[in-house]
């Protein structure tokens, strides 16, 4: 089969070994043994290392001499051409790093990270591309996204409120329960504001003290404070505070688990009210048993009721 002038065409295995020696100095930019390398000149693949061939799913001899666009998802070719245009226009060695998709021999899209820069090869401009298969990274990122979605759903549908603060007590995140309890529709309305804004002035010092104790001890439980909602309502809360730490164990913020205890407080007040009523009735009964004079009895009963 005739070969067009200037076309490099397939090489023999011996030819590829010689090529690897010839292009070895170009491979110095490779940071990882698992990185592929592709040299592109005038739109064609001039050289590829074995790892690049593995990523593309081709034999080495099937890559060299082919238009590089053959190995890239069609929608991405335009982006790559624009990147090359910017490099040519600048007249400088301008690194480009981006994520894209390549098509392997079986027609399957493979996510890759490509670092590309302009070089001079044999006196003519060319492009040196380092290709990294990021399939596993993408799978891990997707698994993390799914995990975060499940976590977020669980947090947002929890009966208790959750609040994340930085070390300055500024709100970093708030779950739906806490946000709505305070009378807001979106956590964005809370993020960046001090958590101390949302407690009453008479429990603000107690709240600050609780956060300071959590910073020194790592955790504090059953802190009772009173929150102030958007419309001015006071909401009694029970708060558990945990210290968030960074990768090296340094303090990074706080996680607050917040429980609305209005019903508990109402129940406690009802129990206290009934206890007082019962005490008054017992006192009246004791007075009745001790006095037979009506006037004295009425006076004693009135005193007990007014106590």
Greater confidence, 256 or 117?
Answer: 256
The whole-angstrom separation of Cα 224 and Cα 258 is 10
Q: What is the mean pLDDT of residues 71-96?
A: 59
Q: Into which CATH architecture does domain 151-260 fall?
A: 2-Layer Sandwich (3.30)
Task: Summarize the confidence of residues 135-160 as an average pLDDT.
Answer: 86
pTM of the model: 0.51
CATH of the domain spanning 13-133, picked from 3.40.50.1100, 3.30.450.20, 3.40.190.10, 3.30.470.20: 3.30.450.20
pLDDT score recorded for residue 11: 47
Q: Chain-wide mean pLDDT for the chain?
A: 79
Q: How do residues 153-200 score in pLDDT, each as one tens digit?
A: 888 888 899 999 999 999 999 999 999 999 999 999 999 999 999 999
How far, in Å, CA of 97 to CA of 129, rounded?
Answer: 9
pLDDT for res 193: 96
Query: Region 101-119: what's the mean pLDDT?
Result: 85
Q: Is the pLDDT of residue 32 over 70?
A: no
- What are the tens digits of pLDDT across the range 290-305? 554 555 555 655 565 5
One fold for both 13-133 and 151-260?
Answer: yes
Region 275-300: mean pLDDT is 58
Q: Where are the domains of the chain?
A: 13-133, 151-260, 265-306
């Amino acid at each position: 089969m005739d070969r067009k002038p200037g076309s490099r065409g397939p090489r023999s295995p011996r030819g590829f070994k010689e090529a690897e020696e010839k292009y070895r100095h170009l491979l110095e930019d490779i940071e990882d043994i698992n990185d592929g390398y592709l040299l592109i000149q005038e739109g064609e693949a001039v050289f590829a290392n074995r790892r690049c061939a593995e990523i593309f799913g081709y034999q080495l001899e099937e890559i060299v001499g082919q238009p590089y666009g053959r190995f890239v998802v069609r929608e991405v070719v335009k982006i790559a051409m624009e990147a090359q245009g910017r490099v040519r226009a600048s007249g400088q060695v301008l690194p480009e790093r981006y994520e894209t998709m390549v098509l392997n021999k079986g027609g399957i899209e493979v996510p890759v990270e490509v670092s590309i820069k302009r070089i001079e090869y044999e006196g003519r401009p060319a492009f040196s591309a380092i290709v990294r298969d990021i399939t596993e990274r993408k799978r891990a990122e997707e698994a993390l996204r799914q995990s975060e979605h499940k976590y977020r759903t669980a947090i947002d549908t929890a009966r208790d409120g959750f609040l994340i603060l930085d070390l300055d007590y500024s709100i970093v995140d708030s779950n739906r329960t806490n946000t709505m309890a305070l009378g807001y529709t979106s956590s964005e309305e809370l993020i960046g504001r001090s958590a101390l804004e949302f407690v009453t002035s008479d429990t603000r010092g107690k709240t600050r003290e609780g956060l300071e104790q959590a910073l020194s001890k790592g955790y504090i439980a059953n802190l009772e404070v009173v929150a102030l909602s958007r419309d001015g309502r006071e909401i009694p809360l029970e708060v558990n505070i945990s210290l968030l730490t960074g990768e090296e164990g340094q303090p990074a913020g706080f996680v607050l688990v917040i429980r609305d205890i209005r019903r508990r407080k109402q129940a406690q007040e009802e129990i206290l009210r009934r206890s007082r009523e019962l005490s008054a009735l017992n006192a009246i009964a004791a007075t009745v048993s001790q006095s037979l004079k009506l006037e004295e009895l009425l006076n004693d009963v009135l005193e007990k009721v007014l106590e």
